[in-house]
Structure 1
Amino acid sequence: MPGPGHRSRAGVAAVTAGLLAVSGALAGCSGDRRAEPSPRPTPVWNRSPASVAAVGDSITRGFDACVVLADCPQVSWSTGTDSEVRSLAFRLLGAPATKNRSWNHAQTGAKMSDLPGQMAQAAQREPELVTVMVGANDACQDTARQMTPVDDFRASFEASMRQLRAGAPKAQVYVSSVPDLKRLWSTGRGNPLGRQIWKLGICATMLRDSQDMSERAKKRRDTVYERVVAYNGVLRDVCAKDRRCRYDGGAVFDYRFTGEQLSHWDWFHPSKNGQGRLAEIAYRNVTSAKPPV
């Protein structure tokens, strides 16, 4: 007959075996749960949008890029169809689709106060991506006092984003910085033809008396430069509040346009070559895994 110790050891063995069995069953269930794929959240930024709408000013309209004093939207950096420029839409959608799934609502001469109306138009298309390039005309006035106040610039951009969100809540927004107008002056002032054309009144706050290097003239240009920097700060800050908005990190402002990349009719607006460079910057930033810093 087995002794008490034997019965005790047998009982412990039985209990242990039972616990191991239960533990194994639970582990199997847990393992099954781990094997099930967990749902992944939809990325906020889609790097391959299927449609593009553009809003902004004369740069996005391709002004003076093909013929003098005229828009040339086919070479627009954002939605153009020209195979040499290879616009952002061209690169994202391909040439045939560009004509059917991209729209250019920009207007030559537009300021930030015009953007809410353009955004409302763009929202009606329900695009997957909206490009924004505006602000140069807010700084390009007859006098520095006439430049758009920074607070007004901010209020209009915020209103523009609200207009878009009201009609196209899921549209992504790519915001280009305002170009460095002072650098454009520095590049173009060396061309005699450009200097003569500037006398007609193009961006007088920056380009008037292009050869004047007096302290007064320098101060005027510095004032315009500082206002553009402030505008870009607004674009960055307002965009940062929208989870589907991406600012270019100042890439266009920092870009050093050469004479080849400026219109040979006004030495201020981008040429076809310059439009292509803008398209490259935009495509790089739109398709990047992370937003520019």
Structure 2
Amino acid sequence: MRKPSHRVRAVLAMTAAAVLGVAGCDAVGGTSPGPSGTKARPSPTRTPVWDSSPASVAAVGDSITRGFDACAVLTDCPEVSWATGNSPEVDSLAVRLLGKSKAATHSWNYAVTGARMADLPGQMARAVTRKPQLVAVMAGANDACRSTTSAMTSVADFRARFEEAMSTLRGSLPKAQVYVASVPNLKRLWSQGRTNALGKQVWKLGICPSMLGDADAVDAAATQRRDTVEKRVEDYNKVLREVCGKDRRCRFDDDAVHDYRFGTGQLSHWDWFHPSVNGQARLAEIAYRTVTAKEA
């Protein structure tokens, strides 16, 4: 077969150029000009996956989110909750995000003192009825705070229940955002609270026996028991990180709550274990910082 002449090749090149010219920017790239006389189409605006200014907040979890022992002994005090409280001393996550007046009508606290991860799906089911744009989660301490280490929630069950809770949320609110707080360092709370005689007496009422039982014992058995609880908490936090990491609209605090060095000023002066009003304010700071960060 003969090669096409120079003239034929020139005609083919001009034809190809004409076709591409008619096709415009779709054929030659988004930054190339279209044919003469046409207006360039604006680039589509992408809605960010994470909104740092949600219009409503719901909270789920346990006694920490209920403000237990922050205001009075063995009593919930939701007004100082780090998540949804209205106390100016705490400046809760909801108040920081929504403002005080709007937080009063657009935030809801479904946490329950004593709740474990197995209770989270039910709490989540109640929370979604409000259609919150952000759900704040803090759960897991009671899964480790059991009568014995053998009674602690297994890591597999912890994962299954957290995944169930997230599935419950996503089934109703696929675009809702989730903030997940890590489980606090229970061993550090023990080391701080054991310096107070009154606190140790309250511990004997049954607060976190697996960690706080025989508070002054430092023998090999007691040390192993506390180390076992500490390891389980670390495993729980790994689960929270992994499950949350699979969801584009979920942010884990990167162990910020677990790593925070609660001192005696941040602990309840009734049980020397739960957060005080000051401790609740510190939790609110961590949550707000995580939610409003430009990147997870």
What is the TM-score of this pair, normalised by structure 1?
Answer: 0.89
Q: Which of residues 219, 222, 230 is equivalent to 2:224?
A: 219
Q: Which moved more, 1:28-37 or 1:174-183?
A: 28-37
User: Equivalent residue of 2:70, what SS?
Assistant: coil
Change (3 A) 1:44 1:143: same
Gaps of 5+ in 1: 1-17
Residue type at the aligned position of 1:105: Y
Contact 2:137/2:179, CA 8 A, preserved across alignment: yes
Stretches of 4+ moved more than 6 A in 1?
Answer: 22-27, 31-34
Residue 185 of structure 2 corresponds to residue 165 of structure 1: no
Which is higher, the Rg of structure 1 or of structure 2? 1
> 2: CA distance between counterparts of 1:178 and 1:231?
7
Say whether residues 1:233 and 2:228 are aligned partners: no
Does structure 1 retain, via aligned residues, the 8 Å contact 2:138–2:180? yes
Task: Tell me the equivalent position of 1:128.
Answer: 133
Q: Check the 8 A contact 2:33/2:40 in 1, yes or no.
A: no
Against the structure 1 CA distance between its residues 30 and 170, is the aligned structure 2 distance closer, same or farther, given a 3 Å change threshold?
same
Residue 10 of structure 2: aligned partner: none
SS at match of 1:126: coil
Amino acid at match of 2:216: Q
Give 3-state SS (helix, strand or coil) of 1:131's partner: strand
Q: What residue identity is the alignment partner of 2:283?
A: L
Pair 1:61 & 2:66 matched = yes
> Size of the alignment, in residue pairs?
273
CA RMSD between the two structures: 2.1
Superposed displacement of residue 37, structure 1: 2.5
**Which whole-Å CA distance do the structure 1 matches of 2:104 and 2:21 have between them?**
62
- Aligned partner of residue 60 in structure 2, secondary structure: strand
Alignment of 1:263-278 (within 5 A): 263-278=268-283
SS at 1:53 equivalent: strand
> What residue ranges of structure 2 are gaps of 5+ in the alignment?
1-13, 25-31
Match of 2:198 in 1: 193
Q: CA–CA distance in 1 between the matches of 2:100 and 2:243?
A: 33
How far off its partner does 1:32 sit? 8.2
**Structure 2 equivalent of residue 90 of structure 1:** 95
CA distance in 1 between partners of 2:114 and 2:220 (Å): 30
Give the CA deviation at 1:166.
Answer: 1.3
Alignment of 1:134-145 (within 5 A): 134-145=139-150
State the partner residue of 2:157: 152
Q: CA deviation at 1:168?
A: 1.3
The residue that corresponds to 2:121 in the other structure is 116
